[in-house]
Chains A and B, each alone.
Chain A
């Protein structure tokens, strides 16, 4: 683990503050960092439904597309760089379908055009060391569907509980920015849906 000069100085400052006039550390205590740090990061990438790889969700004859753009924003804070807690939100395009002459029992056939997207609102815990980040979180996903059927467009959605884990790495870009590629797995529990996302984040410390 390589520490920046600023990190080294911060740690030495804390040792100094616990030391007495002689410069000795007094007692058994290790000084605890009290400064609260805040980071914000924004990322973009691609996500898809893992289940769809083995269980096709579209009917035969449909032009079904699994996955799409993912954009996430996260703000997190901590007194310790090692573990931090934050909130994440954003937008994920999950799937789309276009089908002609789909059957609607009792109503003949119709053309269907539909998309499914999600807006997450997750509480995230991040563990970070040696340039590796491990995230875990719980929260809610707002699933939203827009479908055009029989010439009518329906927009409908619901909130579902979800869990997320992620594994990423961190690279210094300079000027305090960091580049963080990440692989993220989300389970939307009530929908029995698992999403796999790959995204690249850029992080900026705010404080």
Chain B
């Protein structure tokens, strides 16, 4: 760090001399020095880089999913959810995350162990998201409860630019178990069914003074997921389901 500072100061002095003779060259070299200064590692929820061991990050999010028209037809398409996310740093670049998304009708709790590696401002990681979902429907026309379990291993990339943490991830979702209760009847099955893939693009940044926010888009290309459990669709056709999220880092 001191070496880089020295370089920067030296660069300042040198550039001051060079700038008189070669203004453009001086400017570019100075920026090169500024840009190679190491940036502080800001912990995040979505970025691959796990927090430092023992460090935790919390976030509160609003997610809005647009249900595919070919599954829900003319019925309700915008599905909002509140989400709470947590991430704990562990030794040796490991981390443990947890997410709870809920709109009462469909709720999902995910446990996400991960490992990451970063070099400079770039990082990448691998994770798996083990999820239990619960659905409640006791309103007109429904006396139904359902739950299921899925797992989604994935890989993620990201980088830091100033206070921006930008990340992208891709995961593959498989359903393992599904339980449905309707009236006095119960049906459950244990089948490993590949549901499809999901891609997430997220940005975490400073906003509103020192408050950090996150926002992004998740695209699922899957058979109907837990949020559409009430459709009871048996289609094996995959549809594109986007979800937008916005939240604050607590």
Q: Is A in direct contact with B (CB under 8 Å) within the complex?
A: yes
Q: How near does chain B come to A120, taking the closest CB pair, in angstroms?
A: 16
A3 to chain B, nearest CB (A): 5
B52 within 8 A of A: no
- B31 & A8 in contact (Cβ 8 Å cutoff): yes
**Contact residues of B between 165 and 207, Cβ < 8 Å to A:** 166, 201, 203, 206
The answer on a CB contact under 8 Å between A32 and B201 is no
Are A83 and B30 in contact, with the CB atoms below 8 A?
A: no
Which of B8, B9, B27: most chain A CB closer than 10 A?
Answer: B27
Contacts of B244 on A, CB cut-off 8 Å?
138
Contact A138 B242 (CB under 8 A): yes
Name the CB-closest residue of A to B34.
Answer: A11
In the complex, A29 has a CB within 8 A of chain B:
yes
B69 interfacial contact with A, CB 8 Å: yes
- Contact in complex: B39, A30 (CB < 8 Å): yes
Nearest-Cβ distance from residue A162 to partner chain B, whole angstroms: 10
CB neighbours (8 Å) of B39 from chain A are 30
B74 to chain A, nearest CB (A): 12
Q: Which A residues lie within 8 Å of B242 (CB)? A: 138, 161, 163, 189
Are B24 and A2 in contact (CB-based, < 8 A)? yes
Q: Which residues of B contact A3 (CB under 8 A)?
A: 27-28, 31
Q: Is A23 in the interface zone, CB < 8 Å from B?
A: yes
* B34 contact set on A, CB distance < 8 A: 11, 15
Cβ–Cβ contact B217 & A33, under 8 A: no
Q: Evaluate contact between B164 and A83: CB separation under 8 angstroms.
A: yes
- Does A58 sit within 8 A of B, measured CB to CB? no
Q: Mark B122-133, 1 if CB is under 8 A from A, else 0.
A: 000000000000
Residues of B within 8 Å of A161, CB to CB, are 66, 242
Given A11-B34, A138-B217, answer yes or no on A30-B40 (Cβ-Cβ < 8 Å).
yes
Q: When the two chains form the complex, which single residue of B27, B66, B162 contacts A33, counting CB atoms closer than 8 Å?
A: B162
Instruction: Decide if A5 is an interface residue (CB 8 Å cutoff).
Output: yes
Closest A residue to B6 by CB, please name it. A24
- B interface, how many residues as a size bin? 20 to 34
With A11-B34, A79-B206, A80-B164 known to touch, is A23 a contact of B9 (CB < 8 Å)? yes
In the bound assembly, the distance between CA atoms of A11 and B11 in angstroms comes to: 14
B8 engages A83 (CB within 8 Å): no
* B233-250 at interface with A (beta carbon < 8 Å): 240, 242, 244
Is A177 located at the chain interface by the 8 A CB criterion? no
A98 to chain B, nearest CB (A): 31
Shortest Cβ distance from residue B18 to the other chain A in the assembled complex, whole angstroms: 13
State in angstroms the CA–CA spacing of A12 and B217 once bound together: 35
Give the nearest-CB partner of A24 in chain B: B5
Give Cα A30–Cα B35 distance, bound, in whole angstroms: 10
User: Which residues in B have their C-beta under 8 angstroms from that of A23?
Assistant: 9
Q: Does A136 contact B (CB under 8 A)?
A: yes
B163 CB–A CB distance under 8 Å: yes
Q: With A28-B1, A82-B161, A189-B240 as given contacts, are A8 and B27 in contact (CB-CB < 8 Å)?
A: yes
B30 closest partner in A (C-beta) = A8
Contacts of B28-49 to chain A: CB distance below 8 A: 28, 30-31, 34, 37-40
Contacts of B27 in A (CB 8 A): 2-3, 5, 8
Is there contact, CB below 8 Å, between B164 and A82? yes
Interchain CA distance A11-B12 in the complex, whole Å: 13
Q: Which residues of A contact B163 (CB under 8 A)?
A: 32
Closest Cβ of chain B to A54, distance in Å, is 21
> Is residue A97 contacting chain B, with contact meaning CB distance below 8 A?
no
- 27 A-B pairs (CB sep. < 8 Å): A3-B27, A3-B28, A8-B30, A8-B31, A12-B30, A15-B8, A15-B34, A24-B5, A24-B9, A28-B1, A28-B40, A30-B37, A30-B38, A32-B206, A33-B162, A79-B162, A79-B206, A80-B162, A82-B164, A83-B164, A83-B166, A83-B203, A136-B201, A138-B242, A161-B242, A189-B242, A190-B69
Listed from nearest, the 4 A-B pairs whose CB atoms lie closest are A8-B27, A32-B163, A190-B69, A82-B161
Q: Which residues from chain A sit less than 8 Å from chain B, CB to CB? A: 1-3, 5, 8, 11-12, 15, 23-25, 28-30, 32-33, 79-80, 82-83, 125, 136, 138, 161, 163, 189-190
Interface residue ranges, B against A (CB under 8 Å): 1, 5, 8-9, 24, 27-28, 30-31, 34, 37-40, 66, 69, 161-164, 166, 201, 203, 206, 217, 240, 242, 244
